[in-house]
Chains A and B, each alone.
Chain A
């Protein structure tokens, strides 16, 4: 085997991981809401949280090809963990976030042992079942979770002992954005690593991977745990910035929503979930006067159209358009 052949995958990965100018521009633009639309910072922090949640789903769905209809389980579990910690007197945000995300990660590890063994319909059913199981458990344990009324009395301390979580959302947005950026760096590092390549291999052909010596279930377990931790961070952020937790954080609706966000933006391309979150949340804010029933009509229509006409989401569509535009120019 020649040296070049050994070096090639390495160089391939090194080429990929270089930061592009568009990416830097994107992250610089995330600071714009602070300057341009300070009255929309609450919405902006909601977008950042949704983006983080979608990013976590992208890791398992977009890269490892695991379809989950119950990803809200980790989001909600961590939301309740963070909320309860603050309610019981530990309102320090950062340690609370880490603890809640770790709890979600632990749940992800335990359930991942089961989930990673399944594929296709059984996988969808198992994730759906686990999500419903947890939602139902939270509903039954109303002495702990507050049931349908939601968890009340969550009081957060100041961030770093200085910045108060206020109504305007300055602190909330900066905090959520920082966590999102951190998680994004981790996700970026993972997807451009040999581990990330192995995941893509599993996505493309799960049967061939063991043939080249890869332990696919171990890989899947690992990424599932990571994704659950990240979803947990998003859930904890929501609980901490809104200072309340509702059963809705665990609902099937939320699992479906995040799927819509990711598919809308484009799965398997890191920025898909981020772009999807921006468009989805702004659209929902604009149509908030609409009855939620009718909002879901348009979401349903959107899903049908995206699946039939735009199989790789908005970013996929752009990626296909751009070279064509360049050629014709």
Chain B
């Protein structure tokens, strides 16, 4: 029983780290522009399919595809930001929801057209497969790798936000957009860059997710709820809050699936609604 508890905790941790990667970009962009981007996971899906296409069709090593999985959605998000998103800053949240749901529908159909509706798989290099023993517990190498990657990203993002000039601008814009504009910060530009980086991170998460949760055409909708929960519970624009919320969600979801499978996702939704009712700004939200 103890061994399985450790296993559940470890798997939950890996899953939570994945959710963190998928949601951190949304947390920052939502906090800064109040732009409700329901299409965030469409970018993650693009990252995932980029990795699949490169490994399976072109024979790239999985590790080499990760930068591509970051770059492709980042570039696309720059284009979309210019063409579509920019028109709706300051528009009603309904319009923002509708536009981004539209993008989700289009991306799902495009994925189904290009890759079919089957679950995709990537071929992992041998050194990422199998299990190793840590403290007499067997753990999956890939999950260990995933946790390591996500921790590195979390530290990098945190360091960038706290210690670079760009990060200071982002924090200023999240805290008070009008004041930041008044100080001469080009918030639109800062937002565009943060948006691209966030989409890139989502793409990276999407590629890393394939081995854990799979990838199919409906990914952009299936996991949207989880990402929204992380953002809503963690609070907007706080990296630490997102990380804590993602881990909490990952572990509790994994525990729920192991111990009370008949409840399905019911428990998670219940926790989310209850938490939102209790603290609408999220557990760690400041505004």
Contact = CB atoms under 8 A, between A and B. Distances in A.
Interface of A: 61, 67, 69, 114, 118, 120-122, 124-126, 128-130, 132-133, 136-137, 139-140, 252, 256, 259-260, 263, 291, 293-294, 296-297, 299-304, 306-308, 311
B124 to A, nearest CB: 29
Contact of B264 (A114, A121, A140, A307): A140
Nearest to A306: B98
Given A137-B266, A300-B104, A308-B87, A293 B276 contact: no
Given A133-B269, A140-B264, A302-B102, 12 more contacts: A120-B34, A120-B93, A121-B93, A124-B97, A260-B98, A293-B109, A294-B112, A299-B102, A301-B102, A304-B84, A304-B102, A311-B95
A132 B102 contact: no
A300 B108 CA distance: 10
B262 A124 contact: no
Considering the complex of A and B, which 9 residue pairs feature the smallest CB-CB distances, nearest first?
A: A300-B105, A303-B102, A297-B109, A300-B106, A122-B280, A293-B112, A304-B102, A129-B273, A133-B269
Contacts, number: 112
B141 to A, nearest CB: 33
A133 B273 contact: yes
Q: Give the residue among B36, B106, B225, B228 with the most A Cβ atoms within 10 A.
A: B106
A308 B97 CA distance: 12
21 contacts: A118-B280, A120-B34, A122-B232, A122-B276, A124-B97, A125-B228, A125-B232, A125-B272, A125-B276, A129-B276, A130-B273, A136-B264, A136-B265, A136-B266, A136-B269, A299-B102, A300-B106, A303-B98, A303-B99, A307-B95, A311-B95
Nearest to B104: A300
B3 interface: no
Contacts of B87: 308
Interface of B: 30, 34, 36, 84, 87-88, 93-95, 97-99, 101-110, 112-113, 117, 217, 221, 225, 228, 232, 262-266, 269-270, 272-273, 276-277, 280-281
A304 B99 contact: yes
Contacts of A120: 34, 93
B108 A121 contact: no
Query: Chain B at the A interface: mostly helix, strand, loop or mixed?
Result: helix
Given A133-B270, A303-B102, A140 B262 contact: yes
A271 to B, nearest CB: 19
Query: Chain A at the B interface: mostly helix, strand, loop or mixed?
Result: helix
Contacts of A297: 105-106, 109-110, 113
A129 B280 CA distance: 13
A303 to B, nearest CB: 3
B189 to A, nearest CB: 22
Contacts of A301: 102, 106
Contacts of B270: 133
B106 A307 contact: no
A134 to B, nearest CB: 9
Contact of B102 (A133, A291, A300): A300
A128 B225 contact: yes
A307 B102 contact: yes
A117 B151 CA distance: 37
A121 B95 contact: no
Nearest to A299: B105
Given A132-B265, A133-B273, A304 B103 contact: yes
Contact of A61 (B94, B108, B265, B266): B94
A114 B102 CA distance: 28
Nearest to B282: A122
Contacts of A259: 98, 101
